[in-house]
Amino acid sequence: MFTRKLASPLVAGAAFALGLTGFISGASAADMPLKAPPPPATPWVLDFHGDLDFNFQNTRVTGGGLLLYPTGSFLVQPGVSMDLDIYKNKSTFINSFSLIGTLWNEDYVDPSGFQALFRHWQEMDWSAGISVGFAEHWTFSAQHLDFAFPWDGTISNDVFKLSFDDSYWGYPITINPYFQMFYTDGGGSSVILGKRAGTERFEAGMVPTYDFAKTTGIPLTISAPTWVEFGPSDFWNRNDGTTSRCGPTGTSACSLSNWGYFSTGLQGPYSLTNWYVKGGIQYYHIMNDALLAAQGTGGVAPLAAETAYGGTAVVSGFSTAKADIGVVSAGFGFTW
């Protein structure tokens, strides 16, 4: 009986003590200053990255569709691309903004015959512009691009490109479609027989890609760049009386066409940390007669041929021009 009477006050006292302790603890915690949350990450960044690339090819077909060298040649093409990311924010309509630039050179290792009239160093191209990512999966870029020839002059161009990244769909093969406009400001025709300034061509293409690293862990990516080139007929044929280089004898007027060429191929870089090695083949089907007639420039830069020979191309014969061309390439590079 005594034990039970003693236990009741003890239990009540313990409960009161615990409650008082909790009250004091709660009051003390409420009076303590809260730890400030970390400041939100700023979307403004300075992230510099790029690519140093060394490419080797057996010939070259330019972006406009001009075959410059005999197949079986050996070209060395070092280049560097640089990106400076300034803004990154996935939660807004504009997701990124970057400054971009490139520098590219081409050396023809063993010029002979008509080639020997000109330097081994054939061409230097540089570009500078901007790239804007928007709506999560879209990218728009605008660049000024100059083709500079060591012995001659410069052809000035502007390039605008809109591309779509469909990787978020989750399919094993991405398509990566794009549309591009290439505008020639002045300096000459990059395809010899075309209008020398104030003309453009368009490119609609896609880059189907499969990344083996996602399924096998092998750092190999296989892509199939595929596109078609089209635009105003005067981009390839200015039709001013100096482009009669077609027909069986190479003296007939070249036909007018809005189609330049079609291309598809397989390219495969294999990554080794920041280094990579690559190889590939690209097929070109030339659909424009003026492009076929202009193939006889002997591998010299377009502006040089145009200037040195009175504004006309030096043709080896329209009837012997190649409508189907394979370009084999290999190389290595470094990214940072």
**CATH assignment at residue 286:** 2.40.160.40
More confidently predicted of 13 and 270? 270
- What's the confidence (pLDDT) of residue 230? 98
Residue 42 inside a domain? The answer is no
**8 A C-beta contact, residue 292 and residue 255:** no
Residue 6 inside a domain? The answer is yes
Q: For residue 249, what pLDDT band results from cuts at 50, 70 and 90?
A: confident
CA distance 222 to 269: 7
- What's the confidence (pLDDT) of residue 302? 52
More confidently predicted of 74 and 157? 157
- What's the confidence (pLDDT) of residue 166? 98
Mean pLDDT of 113-140: 84
Amino acid of residue 14: A
Residue 328 has pLDDT above 70, yes or no: yes
Picking from 195, 287, 186, the residue whose alpha carbon sits closest to that of residue 238 is 195
The verdict on 235 and 146 lying in the same domain is yes
Residue 201 inside a domain? The answer is yes
The verdict on 52 and 117 lying in the same domain is yes
CA distance 207 to 62: 18
The verdict on 180 and 238 lying in the same domain is yes
Residue 311 inside a domain? The answer is yes
List the domain range (segments joined by +) for residue 270. Answer: 47-335
The verdict on 123 and 232 lying in the same domain is yes
Amino acid of residue 298: G
The verdict on 18 and 148 lying in the same domain is no
Q: How many CB atoms lie within 10 A of CB 334?
A: 15
- What's the confidence (pLDDT) of residue 35? 64
Residue 30 has pLDDT above 60, yes or no: no
**8 A C-beta contact, residue 161 and residue 188:** no
Residue 86 inside a domain? The answer is yes
Residue 9 inside a domain? The answer is yes
- Domain total of the chain: 2
The verdict on 235 and 269 lying in the same domain is yes
The verdict on 155 and 283 lying in the same domain is yes
Residue with tokens 């034990």: 3
The verdict on 221 and 110 lying in the same domain is yes
- pTM > 0.75: yes
The verdict on 30 and 116 lying in the same domain is no
The verdict on 289 and 188 lying in the same domain is yes
Q: CA dihedral defined by 317, 319, 321, 324, rounded to 10 degrees?
A: 180
* Strand spans (E) along 112-216: 121-134, 138-148, 154-164, 173-174, 177-186, 199-206, 209-211
- For the chain, the average pLDDT equals 85
Mean pLDDT of 268-290: 96
Mean pLDDT of 201-225: 96
Residue 115 has pLDDT above 70, yes or no: no
The verdict on 123 and 102 lying in the same domain is yes
The verdict on 223 and 330 lying in the same domain is yes
More confidently predicted of 46 and 30? 46
